[in-house]
Amino acid sequence: MTSVHDQLAGLTTAEDFFDALQVPYDPKVLRVSRLHVLQRFHDYLAAHNAPDRATMQVCLAAAHRDFQLSTPQRERVFAVFRQDTDGAGRTFVPLDAISDPTRGD
């Protein structure tokens, strides 16, 4: 008998994970946030030592729900969204944070 970990190891799409774990999903959420959902799923699983199928189902459903209720920009799963911005979505670096390489700062 194959373990749930072995079954999931060969999956390639977000939909495959939802189907294999029998977790319902909204295709619109995955169309916009598939990588974010999978990363959040991974983050939730990391909090468990050797999670079983039921735990994986709960974690995947929670990750999906996060992006039904929010956006990738608000959830800040990836580092690019955790950077400081100027309010208009542009990365902001204050001038005093820039050193002058010719001065040896």
pTM over 0.85: no
Percent of the chain with pLDDT over 90: 30
Return d(Cα 42, Cα 63) in angstroms, integer.
9
* Dist. CA 33–CA 23, nearest whole Å: 16
pLDDT of residue 24: 96
In terms of Cβ atoms closer than 10 Å to its own Cβ (0-12, 13-18, 19+), residue 39 is middle
The residue whose two tokens read 């002058």 is: 100
Q: pLDDT per residue over 27-70, tens digit each? A: 999 998 888 899 889 889 989 988 899 999 999 999 999 888 87
Three-class secondary structure of residue 59 per DSSP = helix
Amino acid identity of residue 12, one-letter, is: T
In DSSP terms, 85 is beta-bridged to 91
